[in-house]
A and B are shown apart, each in its own frame.
Chain A
Amino acid sequence: AQTVTQSQPEMSVQEAETVTLSCTYDTSESNYYLFWYKQPPSRQMILVIRQEAYKQQNATENRFSVNFQKAAKSFSLKISDSQLGDTAMYFCAFGLIQGAQKLVFGQGTRLTINP
């Protein structure tokens, strides 16, 4: 079975600062995806970024980037030039590449961007 751990229940930074959210996971599988999802107060889960485990290059999406350390089973999210709209719950999630579509989520990090 897979587990995902987010050790930071809450974080708070000033607008325009850079913030890094941590995530570790445990699996014996070799082919999988890792995701960061954002859940604002509207409750809509929005995909922020995705990383395929077989890719060595870290994924980036505009101001969002990841540091994927496969051997250490670590998958952190860096948000650069943070904006007020980044305020949300952030969930790290694990999904196998093959088979049923099932995500295993971490407990989430509540991120607040202060003006």
Chain B
Amino acid sequence: KAGVTQTPRYLIKTRGQQVTLSCSPISGHRSVSWYQQTPGQGLQFLFEYFSETQRNKGNFPGRFSGRQFSNSRSEMNVSTLELGDSALYLCASSPPREEFYTEAFFGQGTRLTVV
């Protein structure tokens, strides 16, 4: 079974641009969550999608948005990039137990550098 796939692996963008990151969950997983990892702030929850609906959102500005498609693939978008958005963005998917938490399987992340 293929794992969680994140594309691209590396990305360099200029301040003010926007970026879209993609995450393909493990087949059959319906929950996809996103995390930002930086040396200063550690791992922080961005948002989680289940069956195309955002169920929870972390404390990030509105420049960070996401969506989930009917095949459970998810994208996150960051508009008007700032230097501080440079980070490793991790996606995780979880098996389909609608109300009860199960373990999260992580992708290898997308390393975003804003210059």
Q: How far is the CA of A43 from the CA of B90 in the complex (A)?
A: 9
Complex: chain A residue closest to B105, CB-CB: A47
Q: Which of A12-20, A58-66, A73-81, A101-109 contacts B (4 or more CB under 8 A)?
A: A101-109
| A95 near B90: Cβ-Cβ < 8 Å | no
Residues of B within 8 A of A44 (CB): 106-109
B11 at the interface (CB under 8 A from A): no
Residues of A within 8 A of B43 (CB): 91, 103, 105, 108
Question: Chain A: how many interface residues by the 8 Å CB criterion?
Answer: 25
A79-103 to B contact mask, C-beta < 8 Å, 1/0: 0000000000001000111111111
A11 at the interface (CB under 8 A from B): no
Residues of A within 8 A of B58 (CB): 102
Q: How far is the CA of A45 from the CA of B111 in the complex (A)?
A: 14
**Least distance between A9 CB and chain B CB atoms (Å):** 11
**Least distance between B87 CB and chain A CB atoms (Å):** 12
**Least distance between A35 CB and chain B CB atoms (Å):** 7
| B109 near A107: Cβ-Cβ < 8 Å | no
Total of A-B residue pairs, C-beta within 8 Å: 67
Q: How far is the CA of A91 from the CA of B31 in the complex (A)?
A: 21
| A97 near B45: Cβ-Cβ < 8 Å | no
Question: Chain B: how many interface residues by the 8 Å CB criterion?
Answer: 27
Residue in A45, A98, A100, A101 whose CB lies within 8 Å of B90:
A45
Q: How far is the CA of A103 from the CA of B47 in the complex (A)?
A: 10
Residues of A within 8 A of B50 (CB): 100-101
Q: How far is the CA of A108 from the CA of B39 in the complex (A)?
A: 10
Residue in B31, B35, B100, B104 whose CB lies within 8 Å of A98:
B100
| A101 near B31: Cβ-Cβ < 8 Å | yes
Residues of B within 8 A of A102 (CB): 33, 45, 48, 56, 58
Q: How far is the CA of A105 from the CA of B107 in the complex (A)?
A: 17
Q: How far is the CA of A100 from the CA of B50 in the complex (A)?
A: 8
| B108 near A43: Cβ-Cβ < 8 Å | yes
Residues of A within 8 A of B44 (CB): 105
A-B pairs, 4 with minimum CB distance: A100-B56, A45-B106, A100-B55, A105-B43
